[in-house]
Amino acid sequence: MFKKKLISSVFLALGILAFDQFTKYLVLKGMRLYQSIHIIDHILSITYIRNPNSVFGISFGGKFPYPVMILILVVAVLILWTVENKPTFYLLYSAIIGGALGNLIDRLRFKEVIDFIDVGLGKNLRWPVFNVADASISISVVLLLYFSLKSARVKRDEITTD
């Protein structure tokens, strides 16, 4: 059973990694830096930028901490190894690992991350430009928190009804 979950997790992580790298390849080959293609007027654009900082362009000063990112990946894999026996958790951790690998590859190749998904309302209310890896990580973390809290609530309710 564990082997099946591990294989599924690896395929999901590799699928996200491949999709992330493919979309970045298309942007690199088809666009100039800072070029923007409007998909839905002032809501969704493809805008090619490079992010030398951390998540959402936040700078923590100095150079990007590669050892920290590698440590985070190792910890994520260890967590996946010991996670609750629920397929949802395996899938979410796998999506986080796939996204983290996608951005790590960019950092190793370019010393910065290729970002291109530009969403917001109007010209001034914009989310920081991101990529497939960022979306995979962010959505998975939110869902992981949700399902973890839900699981903890169910366990708490079981204890109080006993």
Annotated active-site positions, please?
Answer: 115, 134
SS3 21: helix
Q: What residue ranges in 2-96 does DSSP mark as E strands?
A: 36-40, 44-51
- Taking CA atoms, 113 is separated from 6, 68, 84, in Å, by 28, 16, 32
Let me know: does 133 contact 115? Beta carbons within 8 Å.
Answer: no
Cβ neighbours of residue 130 closer than 8 Å, sequence gap 6 or more: 56, 115, 117, 138
Q: Is 89 exposed, middle or buried (0-12, 13-18, 19+ CB in 10 A)?
A: buried
Task: DSSP letter for 54, please.
Answer: S
| Helix (H), strand (E) at residue 53 | none
